[in-house]
Amino acid sequence: MQAEPISGLFSPLFLVRGGLFPQGERGEVFRLNRFSRAISTPFAFEVKKGFNLEKFLEGAFQIIGGAELKEVILLFHPSIALMIEEVRWHPTQTLKRERDGHLLFTVKVAEPKEVLWW
């Protein structure tokens, strides 16, 4: 499915959790790799008073934050369990190896779809 193109002014990029993301006028966040064209403008950018990036991303697995957290549990096959165990993916993650070698990966996040997209 193709998304409708949008245009507008975006703030400078910020680096967060492994990617560069511009922020729109309403606080929405966009993936840089989805931009087809960008131009520099003479407009100055100021961080809005009281804006706190950590607060904005609170509860996010990657970039979609929110106050209400939901538990997400994924079951990984034994063949990739070690790769998952080697990295701290999220501050709330817990890992539990099953007897058959599968790995239960549990996180509490604002938007469960972000974990499923991963």
Banded model confidence at residue 2, pLDDT cuts 50, 70, 90? low
On whether residue 61 sits in a domain, the answer given is no
Phi, psi of 21 (to 5 degrees): -135, 125
Among 56, 79, 96, which residue terminates a domain? Answer: 56
pLDDT digits (tens, 9 = 90+) for 86-118: 999 899 999 999 999 999 999 999 989 888 877
Higher pLDDT, 79 or 33: 79
Among 11, 33, 56, which residue terminates a domain? Answer: 56
* Range of 15-24, 28-37, 108-117 with top mean pLDDT: 108-117
Pair 52, 1 in one domain:
yes
Structure tokens at 41: 């403008």
Domain of 92 in residue numbering reads as 70-117
What average pLDDT does the chain have? 78
What pLDDT score was predicted for residue 62?
Answer: 77
Pair 52, 80 in one domain:
no
Pair 42, 88 in one domain:
no
Pair 79, 113 in one domain:
yes
Separation of alpha carbons 58 and 66, rounded Å: 6
32 closest CA partner among 17, 40, 22, 23:
22
Decide the pairing of beta strands 14-16 and 19-21: antiparallel
Separation of alpha carbons 92 and 69, rounded Å: 11
Banded model confidence at residue 27, pLDDT cuts 50, 70, 90? low
On whether residue 11 sits in a domain, the answer given is yes
Q: Which long-range contacts (CB under 8 A, 24 or more apart) does 18-26 make?
A: 18/62, 19/62, 19/63, 21/63
On whether residue 80 sits in a domain, the answer given is yes
